[in-house]
Amino acid sequence: MEEKVGEIWHKLITRAADDHYPDAAVNLNQVKTTVGVMFRALGGDGGLDVESTSTTEYNARRSILQRIAGSKQQVELAWRDDQSLRLPDQIALFPEVGLNRDLYIWLAALAVGDHQQEQPWFSKNQQLTLRTLENYPGIRKRYLRLFEAHIKQRPAIDKLPADEAAQEQAIQEALANPGSVEVLPSASRPPASVPLWLHPFPPASRSSIKAGDADGGQNTGETKHLEDEHRHQAETAEKPKHQDKGLITIRMENIFTWGNFLNLDRGSEENEDLDSAADALQDQETLSVSRDRKASAGTLRFDLDLPSEAEDDLVLNEGILLPEWDFKKQRMQEDHCRLVPMVAEDASPCDLPVHLRKAAKKLRAQFQYLAPARMWYKGQDDGCEIDIDAYLRYKTDRAIGRQAAADGLFKDLRTGSRDLACLMLADLSLSTDTWVNDQMRVIDVVRDSLFLFAESLSASGDQFAMYGFSSRKRDPIRYHHLKTFDEQYSQEIRGRINAIKPGYYTRLGAAIRHSADILKERHAERRLLLIVTDGKPNDLDKYEGRYGIEDTRQAVHEARALGLQPFCVTIDNKGNDYLPHLFGTGGYVVIHKPSQLPNELPLLYSRLTAH
């Protein structure tokens, strides 16, 4: 009975203290695409991802009900850094859906002008507001509607202590007339949060945690993927020594908050209740991460996978040095990466897998129509037959006394040419070891795609080559030779394709640069660089995030400058968020059903090369 009464009381007091409007809530996922397009269209940094914020502690004055309910201790405010535009995961501040949606649009427009200079929060947001209203007059009506709705929600000035009242008065003046108030008066407490402005002190990660530092023990149990997209702040910590077990001398009901070590990697507990661990994760404001090599019965998956250590490929040479683009310094770093060409040493020649033979037969029949037809070339000085029309004209001219040269009196039957070369570059990173359904992993889908692609192009007669790649930092970048331009498609090539396996990470810029160097040597009217991947560029070092995105974008620009046509095919459902920045709106396609990639890829190629 006591628990039931407490539960009812908690619901009542929480509902009474809540000043949000859940029925009018708008989620970031609903507007993410629109906001991203608008942000870039207004001139915002095209390399930024649109992501959800993390909640931060904010010690502003709370009402009595909020203090009793324990609510309003944390806020979600917008900010941007050099990696992302961070927006609240949900906005339910206003009673109208339209106003909550408008707030997302306004915050994105406000962030366009934020170049992250060191400025006081109060004056900076006024300047950003003023600049946004001047540069984009069409957004003024939105801002006025948001201002009128928000000003009604702000604390009443006459009910605040004198110092806080002066502070609140300044904020309301600044919202009404941006740029009119120079300094925010000091007070004993911070002011109520201003959701129409960017965060006063954006959270920063307290310690960078490298993927390579998490080489813990093997997991032999269940893996649970967390569906929410909330960001969690994290810090590194030493693992507590569980051997020092003592007597608990406090009453558990006296504990109202927790911020201690949480064994998220399940390293030394055999508890298989992953749901309880997932719930615990959501309650943590800051996560402490440590290393542990003990096995566990289950894991919460954070995309912190470990690469295979297999080294069964034959290294062809000592490596090729390649440059890399540093977007922060806006300069190219010469000889920064080392790419190592490899070929599968133990790949046994094989036939096409049985499950692909029916599809391959159909595709070969379709692609044979792309093969250039044989045609007569007239007006030749030499050929297999006399050109009767040319010969009669020549004899007629001679008969009437007109001078005529005996040139071009033959015709020849030749095979035409599409004059096209294609290099296919396949991402063989660790993420391809994940499952797309109960029967296939991503690597299996990529393998089948390579098989069908090769079968199709061998029927069309087009020049083509196939390579795969993965990386582990900038040295080495493994570059697997599957088929070169000078090799004929054969059982040996099929054996190499059959031998592909998940590798390491995805340093895409270097792989594109080397592929472009190979493709530019082909003498063809059109040269297509076809990239197949399942996710963003990433690696163990700083290549993760914005650095890798910008290096890949620069490599794509370099390929286009060489007269090549880069085109990306991805099975990443989030590809629309970042691929327009890398390849342009017409330079990529997202295959939403990965299992369809083997059949879709050859047909996509035929459409790309139809003209």
CATH number reported for the structural domain that contains residue 580 in this entry: 3.40.50.410
Helix axes 442-460, 491-498, angle to 10 degrees: 160
Q: Tell me what pLDDT residue 206 has.
A: 38
| Three-state DSSP string of 40-62 | HHCCCCCCCEEEECCCEECCCCC
Residue 376 lies in a domain: no
Tell me the HSE value of 461 on the side-chain side, using a 13 A CA sphere.
12
Q: What's the CA gap between 441 and 590, in Å, rounded?
A: 18
Residue 209 lies in a domain: no
Specify the pLDDT at position 566.
95
Residue identified by tokens 């960017």 is: 198
Query: Model confidence at 373, in pLDDT bands (50, 70, 90)?
Result: low
d(CA 324, CA 473): 12
Same domain for 598 and 452, yes or no, is yes
* Mean pLDDT, rounded, for 88-105: 92
| Residue 469 near residue 423, CB atoms below 8 Å | no
Residue 378 has pLDDT above 60, yes or no: yes
Write down which residue in 176, 204, 239 finishes a domain.
Answer: 176
Structure confidence by residue, pLDDT tens digits, 299-309: 444 444 444 44
What is the Cα–Cα distance from 408 to 377, expressed in whole angstroms? Answer: 10
- DSSP 8-state secondary structure symbol assigned to residue 327: T
Report the number of secondary-structure helices (H) and strands (E) in the chain.
Answer: 16, 23
Query: Which of 37-51, 102-116, 552-566 is predicted least confidently?
Result: 37-51
* 116 within domain boundaries: yes
First-last CA distance in the chain: 76
For the segment 212-234, the average pLDDT, to the nearest whole number, is 47
pLDDT at 370 over 60: yes
By the 8 A CB rule, do 462 and 609 touch? Answer: yes
Query: pLDDT confidence of 517, banded at 50, 70, 90?
Result: very high
Q: Is 577 exposed, middle or buried (0-12, 13-18, 19+ CB in 10 A)?
A: middle
For 423, the domain range is 314-368+418-608
Phi/psi at 177 (5° precision): -135, 85
419 vs 139 pLDDT, higher one: 139
Q: How many CA atoms lie within 13 A of 458 on its CB side?
A: 18
Cα–Cα distance between 297 and 274 in angstroms, integer?
Answer: 10
Query: Which residue's entry shows tokens 């090799």?
Result: 487
Residue 522 sits in the same domain as residue 601: yes
* Angle formed at CA 500 by CA 580 and CA 548, multiple of 5 degrees: 30
Do 546 and 455 share a structural domain? yes
Based on the fold, state whether residues 136 and 9 are members of the same structural domain: yes
Q: Looking at the structure, do residues 260 and 332 belong to the same domain, yes or no?
A: no
Q: Is residue 64 part of a domain?
A: yes
pLDDT of residue 540: 87
Q: Give the pLDDT confidence score for residue 237 in this predicted structure.
A: 54
More confident residue, 393 or 65: 393
pLDDT > 70: percent of the chain? 77
- What's 505's DSSP letter? B
Q: State pLDDT tens for residues 394-433.
A: 888 888 888 777 777 888 765 555 678 999 999 999 899 9
Same domain, 437 and 297: no
Under 8 Å between Cβ of 343 and 480: yes
pLDDT value of residue 269: 40
Give whichever of 8-22, 191-205, 249-263 has the largest mean pLDDT.
191-205
* Domain end marker among 301, 322, 354: 301
What is the predicted pLDDT for the residue at 485? Answer: 94
Which band of pLDDT confidence, cut at 50, 70 and 90, is reported for residue 339?
Answer: very high
Residue 602 maps to a domain? yes
- pLDDT for 280 beyond 60: no
Q: Sign of torsion, CA 595 599 603 608? A: positive
Q: Is the pLDDT of residue 250 over 60?
A: no
CA 150, CA 79: separation in Å to the nearest integer? 19
Per-residue pLDDT band for 278 (boundaries 50, 70, 90) equals low
CB 191 within 8 A of CB 168: yes
The answer to whether residues 547 and 509 touch, using CB atoms and an 8 Å cutoff, is no
Q: Which of 274, 95, 76 is nearest to 194 (CA)?
A: 76
**pLDDT of res. 178:** 92
Same domain assignment for residues 404 and 437: no
State how far the Cα of 497 lies from the Cα of 466, in Å rounded to an integer: 9
Partners of 467 in the β-ladder: 425, 481
Question: Do 341 and 403 fall within a single domain?
Answer: no
Specify the higher pLDDT residue, 171 or 286: 171
**pLDDT class of 346 with cuts at 50, 70, 90:** confident
271 and 297 Cβ atoms separated by less than 8 Å: yes
Higher pLDDT, 5 or 296: 5
- Give the Cα separation of 466 and 531 in Å (integer): 10
Strand partners, 288: 235
- 288 vs 53, higher pLDDT: 53
* The last residue of a domain, from among 141, 176, 211: 176
Q: Is residue 182 part of a domain?
A: no
In a shared domain, residues 244 and 340:
no
Name 601's Cβ contacts closer than 8 Å, sequence gap at least 6. Answer: 449, 452, 453, 532, 569
Confidence at 372, pLDDT banded by 50, 70, 90: low
pLDDT average, residue stretch 276-286: 57
Assess whether 338 and 269 both reside in one domain: no
The predicted pLDDT at position 272 comes to 46
pLDDT at residue 4 greater than cutoff 80: no
pLDDT at 585 over 70: yes
Beta bridge partner(s), residue 236: 289
Give bridge partners of residue 79 from the DSSP assignment.
86
* pLDDT reported for residue 415: 56
Q: How far apart are CA 290 and CA 370, in angstroms?
A: 57
Per-residue confidence (pLDDT) for residue 310, from 0 to 100: 43
Top-ranked range on mean pLDDT: pick from 46-50, 227-231, 499-503, 605-609: 499-503
Q: Please check whether residues 446 and 593 belong to one and the same domain.
A: yes
Residue 293, pLDDT score: 46
SS3 381: coil
Give yes or no: residues 514 and 407 share one domain.
Answer: no
Q: How far apart are CA 91 and CA 105, in angstroms?
A: 12
Can you give 427-490 as a three-state secondary structure string?
Answer: ECCHHHHCECCCCCEHHHHHHHHHHHHHHHHHHHCCEEEEEEEEEECECCEEEEEEECCCCCCC
Q: 270-273 — which CB contacts under 8 Å span 24+ positions?
A: 270/296, 270/297, 271/297, 271/298, 272/221, 272/222, 272/297, 272/298
Q: How many Cα neighbours within 13 Å face the side chain of 496?
A: 22
Could you give the CA distance from residue 577 to residue 148 in angstroms, rounded to a whole number? 33
- Does the residue 187 lie in any domain? no
DSSP string, 146-186: HHHHHHTTSPPGGGS-HHHHHHHHHHHHHHHSTTS---PPP
Using 50, 70 and 90 to split pLDDT, how confident is the model at 367? confident
The answer, yes or no, to whether residue 229 has pLDDT greater than 70, is no
Which residue has better confidence, 234 or 338?
A: 338
pLDDT at 347: 87
Provide the 8-state DSSP code for 594.
G
Residue 33, token pair as written in the block: 């695409």
Query: How many structural domains is the chain composed of?
Result: 4
Distances in Å between the alpha carbon of 135 and those of 41, 42, 66, 123, 132?
A: 13, 9, 39, 18, 5
Which tens digit of pLDDT belongs to each residue from 446-472?
A: 999 999 999 998 888 889 999 999 999
**Whether the Cβ atoms of residue 575 and residue 426 lie closer than 8 Å to each other:** no
Mean pLDDT score of the chain:
81
Q: How many CB atoms lie within 10 A of CB 238?
A: 9
